[in-house]
Amino acid sequence: MIQFDQVSKRYEGGHEALSQLSFEVPDGEMAFVTGHSGAGKSTLLKLLGLIERPSHGSISMDGKKLSKIRASGVPKWRRRVGMVFQDHRLLMDRTVFANVELPLVIGAVARAERARRVRAALEKVGLLAYERQLPATLSAGEQQRVGIARAIVARPALLIADEPTGNLDPQLALEIMALFAEFQQVGTTVLVASHDLPLIKRMKKRVIVLDHGRLVADLAAQEVL
């Protein structure tokens, strides 16, 4: 269970990006976070990835307060939280395999186990045949799939994705979202920031709506028409 309790975030020198946000996400749920540009979607996800810290309020996951995690504990936390970005942030001079392997190298997983897990992750995203290729030789949708494989390779409890389909055509975007739904089906909690309303509606999952940093609507999956 993820719990946001009266969470606010003010960037240095900026205005309040998130204001008194309270909500819960049960384990194994998939939810979208939507809202206008600047509404605070990325900020919300960054707080969960410990890329940013709240100015006020508290966030916890499975009863553990994130504020208790110090800088030295952040790498360990990041192995529990897989992150996918719009621009995928792949290392372009490393093979697909090496990119996906990276979180396991950082996590000091033994080599044979790494290879097994990397291949399992690549198989899940349908890219097993591409492991020796460089990302530049792949299409935009395939590159995003490599980013997803990297995010799930350490078997995170939570998967967060910030506009993961922003650069993709509608068909590819739908395929990527379906992939996220598959991870939810095997028990991963999934949070996706997106402003693509038609796509969100098709997915029929919970939708959290932000407006100027405030939570203005929270629709259960069955309320999404």
Ligand X SMILES: Nc1ncnc2c1ncn2[C@@H]1O[C@H](COP(=O)(O)OP(=O)(O)OP(=O)(O)O)[C@@H](O)[C@H]1O
> Where along the sequence are the contacts to ligand X (CB under 6 A)?
11, 14, 17, 35, 37-43, 195
Cβ-based nearer residue to ligand X, 37 or 72: 37
Can you spell out the DSSP letters for 88-125?
A: ----TTS-HHHHHHHHHHHTT--HHHHHHHHHHHHHHT
In the complex, least distance from residue 42 CB atom to ligand X, rounded to whole angstroms: 3
Cβ-based nearer residue to ligand X, 11 or 169: 11
In the complex, least distance from residue 211 CB atom to ligand X, rounded to whole angstroms: 10
In the complex, least distance from residue 17 CB atom to ligand X, rounded to whole angstroms: 3
Amino acid at 157: A
Cβ-based nearer residue to ligand X, 42 or 144: 42
Can you spell out the DSSP letters for 21-59?
A: EEEEE-TT-EEEEEESTTSSHHHHHHHHTTSS--SEEEE
In the complex, least distance from residue 196 CB atom to ligand X, rounded to whole angstroms: 11
Q: Report how far residue 3's alpha carbon sits from residue 26's, in angstroms, rounded to the nearest whole number.
A: 9
Task: Name the DSSP class of 168.
Answer: S
Cβ-based nearer residue to ligand X, 37 or 222: 37
Cβ-based nearer residue to ligand X, 33 or 153: 33
In the complex, least distance from residue 7 CB atom to ligand X, rounded to whole angstroms: 13
Q: Report how far residue 212's alpha carbon sits from residue 128's, in angstroms, rounded to the nearest whole number.
A: 42
